[in-house]
């Protein structure tokens, strides 16, 4: 019978959170092995931020994270702050650019970050193209079974990620293992994604407007993109990561459109309504809102008020919102229930020695570097405690 190779820490998944955990564990003198089902580590890091890797955001705070228990992130993000990540990047001579206040990208692309992560994890035995098939308790330790054999570990860190972005190869193995050890899984749904709705015409596809989206008690101001199946763009992505609710969309957030149209009746009476609106909105949108070619002076005020509502107060009922599929979503809402995980260590409260980090947990961050920051923070905390 072959002797199982033994490690202090085995990490399942060589993404951002797994590599962050490996770096800290190795630094602590732990013997670490990492299993990655893909052919290279950090595939999602390479694809993040359009290949530029939005590594953190100076606005990291617990209210930019969503899940059944948003307070869960507080411990890890208090220990690993945006400045810690920026200092890490500087120490690795990664040139950063700050885009829209507080969002940090890699000037020369995501490969710089991946190289730095791998340098930090040096000393870890990384097995790529290796699928873990099972994990079992074994006299106070764990047996980690793979297609190539079994390994013994004192601690196991599950860093398998979420089940979004299927083109990069994803697995629900993390959720299966969590269930096996008695953990509850919050049902998974797409987040940071476009939505399908027939509120707008497909003829507007490709046009972008600045919008304010009210979802629950929150108002999100960002750009919104009309698509042939509905709406997308940063404003919509950010709305979808929040708790599902009706949406109120304002596509001219800085203009009281009714007031503007009423004034135009007296000052520009011979213009069409679309002619007036095209000073506020793209021409195609203005014409779609009001194709009526009468002079504005011929419109009653209640008609103008109705037109204004179609711009300043577009209501989309929660039941009419269809989230785009998991394959194109950037993250998911749902995952391993955080009430059964220690927020101080990322260790399972049900099974000592088993840790969960990153997107496998029921934690989803806002658009703009928040999810990567969570991966670094939760990974480092687990690496410190495994």
Quick one: average pLDDT of 173-202?
95
What pLDDT, on the 0 to 100 scale, is given for residue 147? 87
Q: Which element (helix H / strand E) includes 315?
A: strand 314-316
Nearest to 94 by CA among 58, 54, 48: 54
What pLDDT, on the 0 to 100 scale, is given for residue 88? 98
299 alpha carbon, distance to own chain's centre: 45
Quick one: average pLDDT of 278-301?
97
Quick one: average pLDDT of 278-285?
98
What pLDDT, on the 0 to 100 scale, is given for residue 162? 80
Question: How far is CA 203 from each of CA 207, 213, 284, 288, rounded to the nearest angstrom?
Answer: 9, 22, 9, 9
What pLDDT, on the 0 to 100 scale, is given for residue 342? 98
What pLDDT, on the 0 to 100 scale, is given for residue 32? 98
Contact predicate 205/233, CB 8 Å: no
Quick one: average pLDDT of 8-23?
97
pLDDT score of 288 more than 50: yes
What pLDDT, on the 0 to 100 scale, is given for residue 4? 85
| Residue percentage of the chain with pLDDT more than 70 | 97
Query: Rounded CA gap, 363 and 349, in Å?
Result: 17
Name the band, by pLDDT with cuts 50, 70 and 90, for residue 324: confident
Q: Which element (helix H / strand E) includes 97?
A: strand 96-99
Quick one: average pLDDT of 50-57?
94
What pLDDT, on the 0 to 100 scale, is given for residue 3? 66
| Residue percentage of the chain with pLDDT more than 90 | 90
Can you give the three-state secondary structure of 178-228, one letter per residue?
HHHCCCCEEEEEEECCCEECCCCCHHHCCCEEEEEEEECCEEEEEEEEECC
What pLDDT, on the 0 to 100 scale, is given for residue 168? 58
Q: Label residue 250 left, alpha or beta by phi (over 0 means left) and psi (-120 to 50 means alpha).
A: beta
pLDDT score of 151 more than 60: yes
Specify the CATH architecture of the domain 5-190+328-385: 3-Layer(bba) Sandwich (3.50)
Give helix then strand counts, H and E, for the chain: 12, 21
What pLDDT, on the 0 to 100 scale, is given for residue 158? 98
pLDDT score of 294 more than 70: yes
pLDDT score of 170 more than 80: no
Beta strands 208-215 and 314-316 are unpaired
Average pLDDT of every residue of the chain: 95
pLDDT score of 167 more than 90: no
pLDDT score of 1 more than 60: no
Name the band, by pLDDT with cuts 50, 70 and 90, for residue 338: very high
Break the chain into its structural domains and give their ranges.
5-190+328-385, 194-324
What pLDDT, on the 0 to 100 scale, is given for residue 166? 58
Quick one: average pLDDT of 211-230?
97
Name the band, by pLDDT with cuts 50, 70 and 90, for residue 208: very high
């Amino acid at each position: 019978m072959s002797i199982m190779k033994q490690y202090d820490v085995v990490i399942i998944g060589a993404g951002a959170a797994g590599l962050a955990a490996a770096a800290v564990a190795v630094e602590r003198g732990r013997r670490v092995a990492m299993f990655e089902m893909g052919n290279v580590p950090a595939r999602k890091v390479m694809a993040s931020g359009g290949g530029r890797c939005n590594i953190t955001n100076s606005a990291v705070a617990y209210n930019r994270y969503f899940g059944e228990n948003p307070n869960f992130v507080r411990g890890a993000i208090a220990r690993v702050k945006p400045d810690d990540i920026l200092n890490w990047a500087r120490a690795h001579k990664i040139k950063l650019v700050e885009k829209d206040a507080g969002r940090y990208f890699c000037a020369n692309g995501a490969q710089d970050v991946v190289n730095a992560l791998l340098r930090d994890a040096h000393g870890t035995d990384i097995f790529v193209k290796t699928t873990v098939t099972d994990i079992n308790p074994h006299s106070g330790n764990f047996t980690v079974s793979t297609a190539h054999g079994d390994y013994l570990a004192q601690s196991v860190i599950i860093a398998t990620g979420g089940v979004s972005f299927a083109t990069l190869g994803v697995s629900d193995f993390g959720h299966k293992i969590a269930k096996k050890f008695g953990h509850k899984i919050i049902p998974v749904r797409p987040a940071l994604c476009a939505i399908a709705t027939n509120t707008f015409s497909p003829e507007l596809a490709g046009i972008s407007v600045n919008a304010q989206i009210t979802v629950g008690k929150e108002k999100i101001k960002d750009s919104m993109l009309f698509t042939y199946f509905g709406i997308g763009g940063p404003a919509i992505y950010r709305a979808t990561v929040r708790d599902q609710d009706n949406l109120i969309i304002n596509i001219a957030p800085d203009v009281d459109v009714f007031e503007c149209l009423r004034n135009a009746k007296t000052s520009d009476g011979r213009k069409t309504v679309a002619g007036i609106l095209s000073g506020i909105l793209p021409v195609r949108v203005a014409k779609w809102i009001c194709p009526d070619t009468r002079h504005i002076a011929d419109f009653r005020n209640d008609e103008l008020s109705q037109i204004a509502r179609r711009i300043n107060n577009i209501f989309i009922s929660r039941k009419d919102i269809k989230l785009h599929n998991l394959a194109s979503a950037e993250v998911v809402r749902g995952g391993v229930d955080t009430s059964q995980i220690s927020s101080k260590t990322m260790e399972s409260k049900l099974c000592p020695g088993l840790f969960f980090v990153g997107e496998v947990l029921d934690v989803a961050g806002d658009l703009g570097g928040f999810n990567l920051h969570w991966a670094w923070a939760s990974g480092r905390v687990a690496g410190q405690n495994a």
